[in-house]
């Protein structure tokens, strides 16, 4: 059996980093870990080929070679996935779809021959057998969520590592919190399940053996969902990384309660975590309460961010506008908070009611859902009727982006982050880092209209923040991605009003 695994292309959003990756000469941020993991569960006599369409296009030769096409992706990939499914079906190729999108989109059985809903570890053997003898069912759904001890090492022979900016591993699934807009808890549950420290180290060792060095993205939606387990694992991770003279640094996503736990912060610092993504969402307490995000209300958000940054971890954060309780001045409040917090990479999005969420169900009951939603939180086509006037909401959203990603404001936050976040872990520079530096100097320092702000930042980074120069250049490059995206979402700056 020839199994063709296909991963769809990322649309142009914050997380694609499409405008930053070319600086490093990379084509995608990290590889499709889910497909690589299920590929390890295929019968040994199966042949497998993975096409990550972020790296290269899917060809007719791939389709001709395959007996079955297996796709995976998230809600945001839905349009691309439907196109690929259509292409496969036109050729009469059998299709299977899984991944988070399969839990959110009800109509998928109309587009694919087989749908795998939820986590696949305990379903793959049955599916493979069914595909071989022609008795595969239209729908596979696990009765229970599997323990992660069943998750095998991903098959890294399926990818070419050099095209990726970071490698990915997963430590846990699930999150104990209950945010109203979140689909993670619906898919993976509120009881976090973790891998053992030995499993984590085996995955890292596999990457080290194939000579990967540099960043590892721990893709968990909340890395600290089970603090007790994570505290058991981290010292072993740190000891392994120390013993091998630090082949890797790490970044991940976590909930705000990370800031209360100094022991955990120190452990993450020791293991060489350099960046953490936090869902801050909004500085408005009433909106947090309505979003059932109480874990962000019991603390000073600014102090929490500063405390985490003081452990050498750059905070990247998500912000949302469009909550029912948002006041008129929400846009100014968000800008003020982002400025004060010195968070360089602030990912501000519009609230989306994703299909498989408590928010969607509430708004449906209230008669306020207008469409399924794209999963892209920069999409200004709202999928529900907001309390605020929609035009005002969209224009306010755009005004936030314009204000936080104008070069002066962005470099100011980056500068203040570098000043307050010492000491940072340094990584051993790779050839791609030098290439990125050169490209950044040419593209941002010569060709860009914001070159004055760039050089001012560059000179300060090279003199006052020499200890973190590599991080400063990374921030400049990422800033470029956000600046370009802002122009795409907002269009040209509105003309200033003429004085009468």
Q: Which is nearer to ligand SF4, 260 or 329 (CB)?
A: 260
Phi, psi values for residue 308, rounded to 5° = -65, -45
139: closest CA among 96, 84, 189? 96
Helix, strand, coil abundance in the chain, percent, nearest 5: 45, 15, 40
- State in angstroms the smallest separation of the CB of 51 from ligand SF4: 30
- State in angstroms the smallest separation of the CB of 185 from ligand SF4: 5
Q: Which is nearer to ligand SF4, 24 or 183 (CB)?
A: 183
Q: Which is nearer to ligand SF4, 127 or 320 (CB)?
A: 320
345: closest CA among 461, 251, 246? 251
Q: Can you say how many angstroms the Cα of residue 55 is from the centroid of all Cα atoms in its chain?
A: 18
Alpha carbon of 258 to those of 70, 222, 276, 290: distances in Å? Answer: 37, 10, 10, 22
Tell me the HSE value of 215 on the side-chain side, using a 13 A CA sphere.
Answer: 18
Q: Which is nearer to ligand SF4, 102 or 175 (CB)?
A: 175
Burial letters 439-471, b for 16+ CB under 10 A, else e: ebbebbeeebebbebbeebbebbeeebeebbbb
- State in angstroms the smallest separation of the CB of 177 from ligand SF4: 4
Q: Can you say how many angstroms the Cα of residue 293 is from the centroid of all Cα atoms in its chain?
A: 20
Q: Which is nearer to ligand SF4, 175 or 342 (CB)?
A: 175
What is the pairing mode between strands 172-173 and 193-194? antiparallel
- State in angstroms the smallest separation of the CB of 172 from ligand SF4: 11
- State in angstroms the smallest separation of the CB of 278 from ligand SF4: 9
Longest dimension (CA), the chain: 79
Q: Which is nearer to ligand SF4, 113 or 253 (CB)?
A: 253
Strands lying side by side in the sheet with 214-218: 167-169, 214-218, 248-254, 273-281, 314-321, 346-350
Q: What does the alpha-carbon distance between residue 73 and residue 44 come to, in Å, rounded to a whole number? A: 25
Q: Encoding tokens for residue 464?
A: 């006052």
Q: Which is nearer to ligand SF4, 172 or 453 (CB)?
A: 172
378: closest CA among 329, 318, 334, 301? 318
Q: Which is nearer to ligand SF4, 26 or 173 (CB)?
A: 173
276: closest CA among 292, 290, 265? 265
- State in angstroms the smallest separation of the CB of 432 from ligand SF4: 31
- State in angstroms the smallest separation of the CB of 134 from ligand SF4: 40
What is the DSSP secondary-structure string of 440-465?
Answer: HHHIIIIISTTHHHHHHHHHHHHHTT
- State in angstroms the smallest separation of the CB of 211 from ligand SF4: 33
Provide the residue count of the chain. Answer: 500
Q: Which is nearer to ligand SF4, 34 or 279 (CB)?
A: 279
- State in angstroms the smallest separation of the CB of 222 from ligand SF4: 5
Residue 225 buriedness (CB in 10 A; 0-12 / 13-18 / 19+): buried
- State in angstroms the smallest separation of the CB of 98 from ligand SF4: 20
Q: Which is nearer to ligand SF4, 172 or 427 (CB)?
A: 172
Residues that bind ligand SF4 (CB under 6 A): 175, 177-179, 182, 184-185, 221-222, 255, 279
Contact 142, 123 (CB under 8 A): yes
Q: Encoding tokens for residue 183?
A: 């689909």
Alpha carbon of 391 to those of 382, 385, 387, 398, 488: distances in Å? Answer: 10, 11, 11, 11, 18
- State in angstroms the smallest separation of the CB of 290 from ligand SF4: 14
Q: Encoding tokens for residue 425?
A: 């872990």
Q: Which is nearer to ligand SF4, 34 or 247 (CB)?
A: 34
- State in angstroms the smallest separation of the CB of 298 from ligand SF4: 14
- State in angstroms the smallest separation of the CB of 383 from ligand SF4: 18
Q: What does the alpha-carbon distance between residue 249 and residue 267 come to, in Å, rounded to a whole number? A: 13
Q: Which is nearer to ligand SF4, 190 or 381 (CB)?
A: 190
Q: Which is nearer to ligand SF4, 201 or 320 (CB)?
A: 320
312: closest CA among 223, 426, 438, 186? 426
């Amino acid at each position: 059996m020839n199994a063709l695994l296909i991963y769809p292309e990322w649309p142009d959003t914050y997380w694609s980093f499409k405008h930053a990756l070319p600086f490093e000469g990379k084509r995608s941020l990290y590889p499709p870990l889910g497909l690589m993991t299920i590929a390890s569960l295929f019968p040994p006599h199966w042949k497998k080929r993975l096409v990550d369409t972020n790296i290269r296009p899917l060809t007719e030769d791939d389709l001709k070679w395959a007996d079955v096409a297996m796709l995976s992706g998230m809600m945001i990939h839905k349009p691309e996935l439907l196109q690929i499914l259509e292409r496969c079906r036109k050729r009469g190729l059998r299709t299977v779809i899984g991944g988070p999108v399969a839990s959110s989109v009800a109509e998928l059985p109309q587009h694919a021959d087989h749908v795998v809903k939820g986590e696949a570890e305990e379903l793959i053997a049955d599916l493979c057998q069914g595909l071989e003898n022609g008795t595969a069912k239209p729908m596979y759904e696990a009765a229970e969520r599997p323990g992660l001890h069943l998750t095998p090492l991903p098959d890294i022979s399926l990818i070419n590592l050099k095209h990726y900016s970071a490698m990915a591993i997963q430590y846990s699934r699930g999150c104990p919190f209950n945010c109203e807009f979140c689909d993670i808890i619906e898919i993976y549950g509120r009881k976090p399940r973790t891998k053992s420290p030995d499993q984590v180290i085996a995955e890292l060792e596999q990457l080290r053996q194939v000579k990967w060095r540099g960043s590892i993205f721990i893709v968990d939606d909340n890395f600290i969902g089970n603090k007790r387990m994570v505290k058991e694992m981290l010292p072993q991770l740190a000891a392994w990384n120390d013993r091998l003279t630090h082949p890797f640094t790490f970044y991940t996503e976590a909930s705000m309660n990370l800031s209360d736990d100094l022991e955990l912060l120190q452990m993450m610092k020791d293991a060489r975590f350099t960046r953490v993504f936090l869902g801050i969402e909004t500085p408005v307490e009433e909106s947090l309460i309505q979003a059932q995000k109480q874990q962000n209300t019991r603390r000073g958000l600014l102090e929490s961010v500063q405390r985490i940054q003081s452990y050498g971890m750059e905070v990247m954060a998500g912000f949302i506008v469009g909550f029912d309780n948002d006041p008129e001045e929400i846009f100014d409040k968000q800008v003020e908070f982002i400025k004060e917090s010195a968070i360089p990479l602030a990912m501000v999005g519009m609230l989306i009611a994703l299909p498989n969420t408590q928010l969607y169900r509430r708004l449906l009951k209230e008669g306020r859902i207008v469409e399924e939603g794209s999963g892209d939180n920069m999409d200004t086509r709202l999928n529900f009727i907001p309390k605020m006037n929609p035009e005002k909401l969209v224009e306010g959203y755009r005004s936030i982006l314009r204000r936080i990603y104008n070069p002066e404001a962005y470099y100011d936050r980056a500068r203040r982050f570098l000043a307050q976040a010492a000491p940072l872990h340094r990584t051993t520079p790779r050839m791609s880092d030098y290439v990125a530096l050169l490209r950044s100097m040419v593209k941002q320092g010569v060709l860009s209209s914001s070159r004055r702000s760039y050089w001012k930042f560059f000179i300060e980074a090279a003199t006052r923040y020499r200890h973190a120069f590599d991080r400063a250049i990374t921030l400049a490059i990422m800033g470029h991605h956000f600046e370009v995206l802002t122009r795409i979402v907002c269009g040209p700056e509105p003309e200033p009003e003429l004085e009468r």
